[in-house]
Structure 1
Amino acid sequence: MFNRLKLSVAALALVAAPALAANDSVIIGIALEPPTLDPTSGAAAAIREVTQVNIYEGLTRFGPDGSILPALAKSWDIEENGKVWIFHLNEGVKFHDGSDFDAEDVKFTLERTTAEGSTNAQKQLFNGIETVEVVDAKTVKITLKAPDANFAFNMAWGDAVMMAPESVADNATKPVGTGPYKLGEWVKGDRIDLVANPDYWGAKPAIEKATFKIIADPTAALNAMMAEDVDVFPIFPAPETLAQFEGDSRFQVLKGTTEGETILGLNNQKAPLDNVKVREAIAHAVNRQEIIDGAMFGLGTPIGTHFAPHHPAYVDLTAQSAFDPEKAKALLKEAGVENLKLRLALPPPMYARRGGEIIAAQLRNVGIETEISNLEWAQWLEQVFKGKDFDLTIISHVEPMDINIYARPDYYFGYGKPEFVAILDELAVTADDAKRTELLQSAQKMIADDYVNVYLFQLAKAGVAKAGLKGLWPNSPAPIIDIGALSWE
């Protein structure tokens, strides 16, 4: 009997060992469910986290360090000082439905993006396109209205991923891309399963199946991670508990930076917020550090303008809008504003919900009452982002180098000052690094001087993962969770 037991245990070990060695799946925790799986028709960062570089690909892509890398375009030529861009496409690329990806799809995608009625959230990135010409099946010539040194950068955004005319209509729920993963199943409110694309044109990923598990509640996220029901939470929604993971050998804690400028957004088109003195008063009423400590448990870098502090062109303008409640009261008096009550619309992220309560108390101290509305993500997008039906809101803008949104008068906070637009127009045709820095700093200063929004902090990236998971990006140069880079040791 003893010998039979030994043989059974040995046989079990032989069976179990390959299973342990071939760990080819991963469960990823995310706090927000994407409202759609089409990043070209919605602004939510959650769409890009699930789909960008996984389901869909662009001509170029972001690397973990923010560099611009080849993707569907293996190379490109730049002519006429950046006015003409010729992209050379990779061979053998197919969409998930088996159809070929070629230059006609590039032409379709870019013309759709710039067409009248386009719902692309970053349509301004492509407004400079004059023509898209198919040179041959694997060559596309894009002529711009004016030189743009940033065009390869623009093509790396999630809003610029390539799609086919045959499948684009259903991409919101049945996405068809060229990426290393296909949609397996989307169980609304619970999870999104991705499976490896066996016909992928590029390198075969180590992970065969990825499940994005939707866990909005911070306590539930902590419990799921501690129980090891989730393998990684790239952006962990309960930063106050990170110390528990740092002392546990089962886990790794990843702390880095993001491109997320977290702001108290102000509706510049709505009285009395159309008065710069009122906007300035609100800025001086807000104590940034108190929000960072109270809502983010110390994680975050104070900012005084809409620009990432880790960028070489950043200007520290925090002193200009320093916490000064007495100055805030004086400015409100100068503006002739009394008994002010404003609506504060808060989307689901923790920084908004927790930060909103703190800001409401700070504003009350200078005589401004707030009516808080906690909105679900789809509600926020419809009411605030699209409908501009708000006074105040809190949101983190996580796209890279997105100060250009201030050039759009139709954007939800409604700025678009002509002098600011002129700076951005000059930046687009400037290649000299010193001059570009000067222009970027002028842009930062202008929106700070106009107190367009209240600039709170740069969102930190704090993630938790099982110790054996490798390939995680330490920073977030764009809202991307690159499954193809992951593997188990």
Structure 2
Amino acid sequence: MNLKTTISALALSAALFGGLAATPAPAFAEGGTITGGFDVGPGGFQGNFNPLAATSGFTWLVTYFEPLVIYDDKLEKVVGALADSYEISDDQKTYTFKLADTKWHDGKPFTAKDVKFTIDLAKNDKAGSVFAARLGAIESVETPDDRTVVIKLSTATPSMLDTLTKVMVLPEHALASIPVEQIAKNAWWSTSPIGTGPFKFTKYVADQYVELAANPDYRGGKPAAEKLINRYFADPAAAIAALRSGEIQFTYVDSNDVSTFKDDGAFRVIEGNSYVVNYVGFNQEVPLWKDLKVRQAFMHAIDRNAIINSLYGGAAKPANCVYAADRLVPEGIDTYDYDPEKAKQLLAEAGWDKINGDKPITILTYYTSPLVANVLAAMQAMLGQVGINIVPRAVDTPTYNSIVYQQSGNAGEFPLIFAGLQNGPDASNINIGLNEKQIPPAGANLMRIRMPEVTDALDAALAETDASKHDARYQEVCKATNANLPWGTMWVGNRYGVASTKLNDFVWTPAPAGGPYQAHPEKWAIAE
């Protein structure tokens, strides 16, 4: 079987479901239960109810926790959430937030002290926070009164507002007594968490579902739905079957499942930019990848366009650096065209036979969908043709995180990864995966990349306070990652969700890590 035949076969491997007849417009009323797979993956379980340590699942977490500020549902601007308003000083070093008058789910008042407690906790890597390095510029958090928070920075940090959209504010009175070192995995997160959002946490049945109840005292008004339930499915096909049968009203789907819903009046397909660059990460603590020629050979060996067209149905765009947006990609960078003969030549020049030869190399991923299984199988076939023997290993997110975030042990456990990291809506988001200062536990530089040209370009972009120069700064980041290949960047794909037309005022935005963004879950309603 030749390579094109292999890819064609893989493209047809997903099972198709039959359509349903269109139904009359439903009547909506208050009450009822809305059930869905609300995390990033198809009914996926982010494996962490702690928003300071979670790397996904914010679509769900934001229904009961809230940040100070949040993106709107178009991911275009940052608006107030727990902050009614905010101001940034001319030197961009002082942020002043005026807080909303609201209460925690247990009836205790929400105050500025909760914000200070949360930020201090989020800055502390002993708490297992993934935000520690990103909040490092915060010099002080002042609380002149219960309704005002003033955050002062040691240096202007234009990405700070974007970071604060992801920091869910936590109750000091409920968590202050827990030792910092014990907070990350404390049972509180999955048994009795309290937030300020429109729904209250009521129940978690391990690996099955989480149930929330309407918060009648929510400052935005009593929610239209009585309950929200987030179900978990190990198999994406099971989530799609549950959607079709009416057991759930929403789930994320892969691009190759979209065609089965497009012309079905019982469902609404939601499509948008994922803002996620999928990449192959080369663990820099593994000698295999030290020679740039090996990393270049890896890129030339993979026919990205064939995979995009055959497996993603064209719903992705090749990424030749860590960005794919036209405004961030300068002219003249290497496009790493598919060229297996060049890949073989580069490997020969690097002495691949002596470095590794045909020994199997594990490529670890947390993507467990049939689509990604097919993508990795196609990569395996292509790389095999030039003499690189990869073996895919797919695990759940908690297992993946326990391996790649380890601070000691055998780096050979993950010589390669296939993963994704957000490159928007703020271009600074990519920093956590590439900057030397973000090596765990400080951040998500999982490949332990120590490339001065990449770090310097990122630092310069992060420090740029003139908005008119941001794009040019991030073009330099693009050039540095294209030339040095800390990752083998593959593509940026579209993301899809499918919602039942029984839902009204339901907002879901394709967003990296699930957002968060302004979805107004208190308005979601379901037909009788």
Instruction: Give me the TM-score of the superposition, normalised by structure 1.
Output: 0.88
The answer to whether the 8 Å contact 1:64/1:477 transfers is no
Give the Cα–Cα distance (whole angstroms) in 2 for the partners of residues 308 and 108 of structure 1. 38
Alignment of 1:269 onto 2:285: yes
State the one-letter code of the partner of 1:272: L
The answer to whether the 8 Å contact 2:28/2:526 transfers is no
- What are the equivalent positions in structure 2 for 1:46-125 lying under 5 Å apart? 46=57, 48-52=58-62, 54-66=63-75, 67-91=77-101, 93-125=102-134
Give the Cα–Cα distance (whole angstroms) in 2 for the partners of residues 192 and 459 of structure 1. 29
Provide, for residues 98-120 of structure 1, a one-character-per-residue CA deviation record: whole Å limited to 9, x for no partner.
22221111111111122252311
Give the Cα–Cα distance (whole angstroms) in 1 for the partners of residues 200 and 322 of structure 2. 35
Alignment of 1:421 onto 2:437: no
State the one-letter code of the partner of 2:223: P
In the other structure, the counterpart of 2:50 is 38
Alignment of 1:260 onto 2:276: yes
1:475–1:134 CA distance, 2 compared to 1 (3 A)? same
- What are the equivalent positions in structure 2 for 1:14-413 lying under 5 Å apart? 21-22=29-30, 24-29=32-37, 30-43=42-55, 45-46=56-57, 48-52=58-62, 54-66=63-75, 67-91=77-101, 93-157=102-166, 160-168=167-175, 169=183, 170-173=187-190, 174-233=192-251, 235-237=252-254, 239-309=255-325, 312-315=327-330, 320-338=335-353, 339-341=357-359, 342-350=361-369, 351-386=371-406, 389-398=413-422, 400=424, 401=427, 402-405=429-432, 406-408=434-436, 410=439, 411-413=445-447
Give the Cα–Cα distance (whole angstroms) in 2 for the partners of residues 308 and 100 of structure 1. 44
State the one-letter code of the partner of 2:373: R
1:144–1:171 CA distance, 2 compared to 1 (3 A)? farther
In the other structure, the counterpart of 2:9 is none
Give the Cα–Cα distance (whole angstroms) in 1 for the partners of residues 313 and 405 of structure 2. 28
Alpha-carbon offset, residue 192 of structure 1: 1.4
Alignment of 1:472 onto 2:472: no
Structure 1: segments with no counterpart, 5+ residues:
1-17
1:42–1:306 CA distance, 2 compared to 1 (3 A)? same
In the other structure, the counterpart of 1:10 is none
Alpha-carbon offset, residue 435 of structure 1: 1.5
1:308–1:167 CA distance, 2 compared to 1 (3 A)? farther
State the one-letter code of the partner of 1:256: G
Matched position secondary structure for 1:448: helix
The answer to whether the 8 Å contact 2:249/2:500 transfers is yes
Alpha-carbon offset, residue 144 of structure 1: 0.6
The answer to whether the 8 Å contact 1:196/1:207 transfers is yes
Provide, for residues 250-281 of structure 1, a one-character-per-residue CA deviation record: whole Å limited to 9, x for no partner.
11222211121111122122112122111111
Alpha-carbon offset, residue 247 of structure 1: 2.2
The answer to whether the 8 Å contact 1:84/1:141 transfers is yes
1:185–1:318 CA distance, 2 compared to 1 (3 A)? farther
The answer to whether the 8 Å contact 1:259/1:458 transfers is yes
The answer to whether the 8 Å contact 2:497/2:510 transfers is no
Matched position secondary structure for 1:182: strand
The answer to whether the 8 Å contact 1:258/1:475 transfers is yes
Give the Cα–Cα distance (whole angstroms) in 1 for the partners of residues 198 and 161 of structure 2. 22
State the one-letter code of the partner of 1:395: A
Q: How many residue pairs are counted as aligned between the two chains?
A: 463
Provide, for residues 193-239 of structure 1, a one-character-per-residue CA deviation record: whole Å limited to 9, x for no partner.
12211222234332331111212323323322221222111x214x3
Give the Cα–Cα distance (whole angstroms) in 2 for the partners of residues 316 and 202 of structure 1. 48
Q: Which has the higher contact order (CA 8 A, sep 6+)?
A: 2
After the TM superposition, which segments of 4 or more aligned residues of structure 1 sit over 6 Å from their partners?
none
**Larger deviation, residues 218-227 vs 373-382:** 218-227
State the one-letter code of the partner of 1:444: C
Alpha-carbon offset, residue 295 of structure 1: 4.0
State the one-letter code of the partner of 1:35: G
The answer to whether the 8 Å contact 1:38/1:171 transfers is no
The answer to whether the 8 Å contact 1:266/1:413 transfers is yes
Give the Cα–Cα distance (whole angstroms) in 2 for the partners of residues 457 and 316 of structure 1. 18
State the one-letter code of the partner of 2:284: N
Give the Cα–Cα distance (whole angstroms) in 2 for the partners of residues 315 and 172 of structure 1. 44
Give the Cα–Cα distance (whole angstroms) in 1 for the partners of residues 456 and 106 of structure 2. 44
1:487–1:398 CA distance, 2 compared to 1 (3 A)? farther
Matched position secondary structure for 2:496: strand
Alpha-carbon offset, residue 464 of structure 1: 1.3
The answer to whether the 8 Å contact 2:283/2:448 transfers is yes
Give the Cα–Cα distance (whole angstroms) in 1 for the partners of residues 460 and 397 of structure 2. 35
The answer to whether the 8 Å contact 1:292/1:298 transfers is yes
Alpha-carbon offset, residue 319 of structure 1: 5.1
State the one-letter code of the partner of 1:37: F
The answer to whether the 8 Å contact 1:384/1:412 transfers is yes
Alpha-carbon offset, residue 70 of structure 1: 0.5
State the one-letter code of the partner of 1:38: N
In the other structure, the counterpart of 1:487 is 525
The answer to whether the 8 Å contact 1:347/1:353 transfers is no
State the one-letter code of the partner of 2:291: N
In the other structure, the counterpart of 1:462 is 496
Provide, for residues 10-40 of structure 1, a one-character-per-residue CA deviation record: whole Å limited to 9, x for no partner.
xxxxxxxx99644543111243212121110
1:290–1:203 CA distance, 2 compared to 1 (3 A)? farther
State the one-letter code of the partner of 1:432: D
The answer to whether the 8 Å contact 1:107/1:132 transfers is yes
Provide, for residues 318-354 of structure 1, a one-character-per-residue CA deviation record: whole Å limited to 9, x for no partner.
8522221111111111111111432111224325433
1:308–1:71 CA distance, 2 compared to 1 (3 A)? farther
**Larger deviation, residues 33-42 vs 423-432:** 423-432
Give the Cα–Cα distance (whole angstroms) in 1 for the partners of residues 526 and 337 of structure 2. 46
Give the Cα–Cα distance (whole angstroms) in 1 for the partners of residues 523 and 436 of structure 2. 35
State the one-letter code of the partner of 1:370: I
Structure 2: segments with no counterpart, 5+ residues:
1-25, 176-182, 440-444
1:365–1:42 CA distance, 2 compared to 1 (3 A)? same
Give the Cα–Cα distance (whole angstroms) in 2 for the partners of residues 260 and 358 of structure 1. 20
